[in-house]
């Protein structure tokens, strides 16, 4: 591996020494404020794997303000999606509560979700009788939104939030992979926990690079930190936590494996031994595996003049587009119902609303680029009497 000096220091140990694993060109909206070209590197000191580019708190904050808005009323109205997310959270909440102190009833526990988003995790706590709920988000949601899930909104970020009372449980799901720095975020969550309180962190699992599952950790523009069980457990044990349980899974509607760790605030590490089964060279080795299954499904459109539309533009879909035969298809438009995306371009290709398909010919094709909304997209295409071919379940 090529040794390099890092401009972005390791987010775990702050080392400026690294080894280059992979270079990515990147593909996303043409006005994206984040650097698209980036390097996947391994820290020479602690072997943590992360993305190396000109990331700053300013451009990361601007990126999320631009592309991520939360509305409970809208998200909950999409019943299939809401139910998928809530149902997946149910066993997680059960596992966390099973390790909680028996001195308090559910209704008396103080629970905080850092990066609460649309509140699907907090709604599951509410279902089992937990009433003292806090959600931390860096920007306020719609005025009515958090009231529908009945929790106290703390408008702050993971580095600076401060609760008025110490929490019994803090959860942080799908936040850590996005952070510029990690250790101080963990330390602030610890500061807000009561003695012997529980912390649950969930991230994509970089140790799993199954050929049949999108190796998302090598590609997605906003996942700038890559965690394995060993790395996440070591991080927590080194920062005042004792690891209790490691949870791994791969939900049907998410194209990559997940990793969750439950840990207790403690002055002493648990001594639990987590084997390091990850070889950083798996990153370049698996970088090309993304295209295999996808290209089988879209083979007839590769190097063809047949017009193709992509319905649903997410960071996952952008990565698929960049790293598979989609890049060799005749994509004429991207379709997305989000007004914030319409009118933008991706590689010069315009993002339109679904009406662009009204006069589509039978020789066209729509590639469905969303997992959670795939059924509703297909149903809408049928209602439109779309005459072309529909391709779904790429990953």
What does the domain layout of the chain look like in residue ranges? 2-52, 67-286, 290-391
Q: Which of 52-66, 161-175, 253-267 has maximum average pLDDT?
A: 161-175
pLDDT band at 315 (very low <50, low <70, confident <90, very high): confident
What pLDDT score was predicted for residue 77?
A: 42
Is residue 76 very low, low, confident or very high in pLDDT (cuts 50, 70, 90)? very low
Q: Residues 23-42: pLDDT tens digits?
A: 888 889 999 999 988 899 99
Q: Which of 32-46, 184-198, 353-367 has the lowest mean pLDDT?
A: 32-46
Confidence at residue 292, expressed as pLDDT on a 0 to 100 scale: 63
Looking at the predicted structure, is the pLDDT value of residue 70 above 90?
A: no
State the average pLDDT for the chain. 85
> From its phi and psi, is residue 129 left (phi > 0), alpha (psi between -120 and 50) or beta?
left
**Residue 293's pLDDT is what?**
67
At residue 380's C-alpha, the angle toward residues 323 and 66, to 5°, is 55
What pLDDT score was predicted for residue 313? Answer: 86
Neighbours of 247 (CB within 10 A): 17
* 8 A C-beta contact, residue 327 and residue 56: no
Pick 267 or 18 by higher pLDDT: 18
pLDDT at 72: 41
* Fold observed for domain 290-391: Rossmann fold (3.40.50)
356 pLDDT exceeds 70?
yes
Query: What is residue 69's predicted lDDT score, i.e. its pLDDT?
Result: 57
Among residues 51, 35, 42, the alpha carbon closest in space to that of 4 is found at 42
Band (314; pLDDT cuts 50, 70, 90): confident
201-238 pLDDT, tens per residue? 999 888 876 554 555 555 678 889 999 999 999 999 99
Report the percentage of the chain scoring pLDDT > 90: 51
Check whether 318 has a pLDDT greater than 70: yes
pLDDT of the residue at 118: 78
Confidence bin at 149 (pLDDT 50/70/90):
low
CA 88 to chain CA centroid, Å, is: 15
Average pLDDT on 80-96 reads 76
pLDDT in tens, 97-121: 999 988 888 889 999 999 988 788 8
Average pLDDT over every residue of 298-325: 86
Are 310 and 367 spatial neighbours (Cβ–Cβ below 8 Å)? yes
Q: What CATH class has 67-286?
A: alpha beta
Closest CA to 214 of 254, 174, 176: 254
Q: Per mean pLDDT, which range of 8-22, 144-158, 305-319 is the poorest?
A: 144-158
Report the share of the chain in percent with pLDDT over 70: 87
User: How far apart, in Å, are the Cα atoms of 79 and each of 171, 275, 319, 375, 381?
Assistant: 24, 40, 27, 12, 19
Does residue 74 carry a pLDDT above 70? no
Phi and psi at 165, nearest 5°, equal -145, 145
Would the pLDDT of 44 be above 60? yes
pLDDT at 299 over 90: no
Give a three-class secondary structure readout of the chain.
Answer: CEEEECCCCCCCCCCCEEEEEEEECCCCECCCCCCCCEEEEEECCCCCEEEECCCCHHHHHHHHHHHCCCCHHHHHHCHHHHHHHHHHHHHHHHHHHHHCCCCCCHHHCEEEEECCCCCHHHHHHHHCCCCEEEEEECCCCCCCCHHHHCCEEEECCCCCCCCCCCEEEEEEECCHHHCCCCHHHHHHHHHCEEEEEEEEEEEEECCCCCCCCCCHHHCCCCCCEEECHHHHHHHHHCCCEEEEEEEEECCCCCCCCEEEEEEEECCCCCCCCCCCCCCCCHHHHHCCCHHHHHHHHHHHHCCCCCEEEEECCCHHHHHHHHHCHHHHCEEEEEECCCCCCCCCEECCEEEECHHHHCCCCCCCEEEECCCCCHHHHHHHHHHCCCCCEEECCCC
Check residue 219 and give its pLDDT: 64
The confidence score (pLDDT) of residue 350 equals: 97
CB neighbour burial string for 6-27, b if at least 16 within 10 angstroms, e if fewer:
bebbbbbbeeeebbebbebebb
How confident is residue 157, by pLDDT bands cut at 50, 70 and 90?
very high
Question: Are 159 and 185 within 8 A, CB to CB?
Answer: yes
pLDDT computed for residue 106 by the predictor: 86
Average pLDDT over residues 268-286: 76
Q: Cα(268)–Cα(261) distance, rounded to whole angstroms?
A: 17
């Amino acid at each position: 591996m090529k040794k390099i000096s890092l401009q972005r220091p390791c987010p775990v140990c702050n080392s400026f020494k690294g080894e280059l694993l992979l270079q990515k060109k990147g593909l996303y909206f043409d006005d994206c404020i984040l650097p698209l070209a980036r390097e996947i590197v391994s820290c020479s000191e602690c072997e943590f794997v992360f993305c190396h580019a000109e990331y700053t708190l300013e451009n990361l904050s601007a990126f999320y303000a631009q592309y991520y808005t939360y509305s409970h009323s809208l998200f909950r109205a999409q019943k299939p999606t809401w139910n998928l997310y809530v149902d997946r959270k149910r066993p997680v909440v059960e596992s966390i509560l099973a390790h909680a102190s028996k001195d308090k009833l559910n209704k008396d526990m103080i629970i905080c979700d850092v990066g609460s988003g649309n509140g699907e995790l907090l709604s599951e706590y509410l279902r089992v009788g937990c009433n003292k709920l806090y959600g931390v988000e860096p920007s306020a949601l719609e005025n009515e939104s958090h009231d529908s899930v009945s929790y106290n909104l703390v408008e702050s970020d993971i580095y600076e939030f401060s609760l008025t009372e110490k929490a019994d449980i803090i959860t942080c799901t799908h936040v850590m992979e996005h952070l510029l720095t990690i250790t101080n975020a963990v330390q602030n969550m610890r500061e807000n926990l009561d003695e012997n309180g529980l912390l649950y962190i969930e991230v994509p699992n970089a140790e799993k690079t199954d050929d049949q599952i999108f190796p998302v950790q090598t590609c997605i523009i906003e996942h700038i930190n890559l965690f394995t069980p060993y790395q996440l457990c070591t991080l927590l044990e080194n920062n005042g936590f004792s690891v209790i349980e490691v949870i791994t899974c791969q939900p049907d509607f998410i194209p990559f494996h997940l990793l969750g760790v439950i840990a207790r605030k403690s002055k002493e590490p648990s001594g639990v031994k987590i084997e390091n089964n990850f070889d950083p060279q798996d990153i370049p080795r698996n970088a090309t595996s993304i295209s295999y299954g996808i290209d089988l499904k879209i083979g007839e459109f590769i190097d063809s003049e047949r017009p193709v539309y992509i319905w649903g533009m997410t960071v996952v879909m952008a990565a698929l587009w960049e790293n598979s035969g989609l890049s060799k298809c005749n994509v004429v438009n991207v379709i997305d119902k989000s007004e914030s995306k319409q009118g933008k371009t991706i590689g010069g290709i315009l993002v339109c609303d679904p009406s662009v398909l009204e006069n589509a010919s039978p020789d066209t094709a729509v590639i469905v680029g969303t997992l959670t909304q795939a059924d509703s997209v297909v149903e809408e295409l049928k209602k439109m009497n779309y005459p072309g071919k529909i391709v779904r379940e790429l990953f």
